[in-house]
């Protein structure tokens, strides 16, 4: 068993890779009532082209299969739904699909072992029939239609389409009505047997556990007899350039909403964390509540609250996102461009840089107060090839000079897109 420790937060992570390939991470949190388990697979919406192990020709699956499969795993052969079973145990259970992974989870104060039974049972035992697959198409079709009417989702998806020409991140995670119509039980079993191989999966538990004991409990619940495999994923060659600068969509909204994006280059795994930290600092310096640009926009009545500031990245995509509500999104764009150019010309203010850097470090520390935050963070970072403790270690390596260089490299006007949704 490998043990990694971070003295800054006084936390340890116990990592064990089983003979069948499954990796287990245990983060003990003594004297906490809540316990959290999350079982994930390195398979998301963008993994729609791959070579099935043992085959030579690529398999192209319809958009939306990862999300469809997530929905279907809860349905059991005995007629029960695992979400209902878990709810009856008094635990808070859920699942989600992202662009690069799928996860099944629960949080419990009592009945943890019984909930773990159910989690590991339904994830390891899929049950697909022609009938239940057809039924699910109607349910997911309603969900797709609902998101088509959701302004905040549409402004995000339009930003993806403005930035990416080939990468399937520009397609809704749930797919389209047309794409899910092509899904059948054979597709689901083929995908499940490829990507839900234990060697492609991770189980993270966080709470008041003795690592050796909980790992033994997990081992006792493994029923699959997988042979470790290497999955050959095929991704399109994405251009560095954006597709289009701007798009405005008319929907029923009280005030316009916007999504500003900067398409970024993929970077080496060793640089991902340091770069992420630098971009977070830059974003708060540009449009955080204490920034002069935000104060000016707020006082002018152009913006209602601090925008959401984010950097999304994986092994296949990377982009900055700034999203919010504004009476005049074009003014936000204009002032943002001015602030970026001013910082590029004069450099980031050292005092502001140090203050925001400390704030972000405090945010990282705070994340370790919650078992759900810890477990989900370790899972998502693991599939990116990152150790979550690296954020606390790399923090000190982010210098003002480095941040100024990242500002110049990432926040380029030719890589900037603007997606707006406004009323008629």
Catalytic residues: 70
DSSP code of residue 368: T
- Give the list of residues 6+ apart from residue 383 with CB closer than 8 angstroms, or none: 40, 42, 100, 101, 202, 314
**1 alpha-carbon distance from chain centroid:** 27
Using a 10 angstrom Cβ sphere, with 0-12 exposed, 13-18 middle and 19 or more buried, the burial of residue 34 is: middle
- 65 touches 48 (CB < 8 A): yes
Q: What are phi and psi of 184, to 5 degrees?
A: -135, 175
- Beta bridge partners of residue 311, listed in sequence order: 320
Enter the tokens of residue 118. 């159910």
Whole-number Cα distances in Å, 324 to 21, 256, 336, 346, 347: 42, 9, 13, 27, 26
Element (H, E) at 59: strand 59-60
Enter the tokens of residue 377. 């963070």
- Give dist(CA 356, CA 281) in Å, integer: 6
- 21 touches 226 (CB < 8 A): yes
Q: What are phi and psi of 74, to 5 degrees?
A: -70, -25
Strands in 232-233's sheet, in edge-to-edge order, are 59-60, 49-51, 232-233
Q: Which residue carries 């963070």 as its tokens?
A: 377
- Beta bridge partners of residue 262, listed in sequence order: 320, 416
């Amino acid at each position: 068993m490998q043990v990694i420790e971070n003295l800054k937060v006084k936390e340890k992570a116990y990592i064990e890779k089983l003979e069948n390939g499954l990796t287990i991470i245990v983060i003990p949190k003594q004297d906490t009532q809540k316990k959290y388990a999350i079982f994930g697979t390195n398979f998301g919406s963008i993994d729609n082209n791959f070579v099935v192990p043992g085959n030579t020709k690529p398999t192209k699956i319809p958009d939306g299969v990862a999300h469809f499969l997530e929905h279907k795993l809860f349905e059991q052969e005995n007629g029960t739904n695992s979400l209902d079973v878990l709810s009856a145990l008094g635990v808070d259970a859920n699942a989600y699909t992202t662009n690069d992974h799928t996860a099944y989870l629960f949080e419990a104060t009592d009945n943890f072992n019984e909930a773990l039974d159910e989690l590991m049972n339904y994830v390891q035992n899929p049950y697909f029939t022609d009938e239940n697959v057809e039924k699910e198409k109607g349910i997911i079709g309603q969900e797709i239609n609902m998101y088509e009417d959701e302004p905040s989702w549409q402004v995000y998806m339009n930003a993806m389409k403005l930035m990416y020409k080939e990468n399937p991140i520009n397609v809704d995670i749930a797919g389209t009505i047309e794409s899910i119509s092509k899904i059948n039980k054979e597709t689901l079993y083929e995908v499940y047997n490829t990507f839900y191989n234990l060697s492609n999966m991770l189980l993270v538990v966080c709470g008041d556990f003795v690592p050796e004991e909980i790992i033994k409990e997990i081992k006792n619940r493994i029923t699959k007899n997988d042979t470790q495999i290497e999955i050959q994923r095929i991704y399109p060659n994405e251009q560095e350039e954006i597709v289009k600068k701007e798009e405005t969509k008319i929907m029923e909204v009280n005030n316009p909403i916007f999504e500003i994006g900067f398409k970024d280059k993929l970077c080496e795994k060793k640089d991902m964390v340091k770069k992420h930290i630098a971009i977070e600092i830059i974003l708060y310096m540009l449009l955080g509540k204490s920034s002069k640009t935000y104060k000016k926009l707020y006082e002018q009545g152009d913006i209602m609250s601090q925008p959401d500031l984010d950097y999304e990245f994986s092994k296949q995509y990377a982009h900055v996102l700034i999203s919010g509500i504004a009476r005049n999104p074009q003014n936000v764009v204009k002032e943002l461009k001015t602030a970026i150019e001013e910082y590029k010309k004069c450099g980031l203010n050292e005092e502001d840089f140090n203050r925001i850097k400390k704030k972000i470090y405090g945010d990282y520390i705070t994340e370790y107060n919650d078992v759900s935050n810890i477990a989900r963070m370790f899972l998502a970072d693991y599939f990116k090839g990152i150790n979550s403790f690296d954020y606390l270690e790399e923090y000190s390596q982010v210098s003002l000079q480095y941040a100024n260089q990242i500002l110049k490299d990432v926040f380029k006007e030719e890589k900037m897109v603007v997606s707006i949704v406004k009323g008629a």
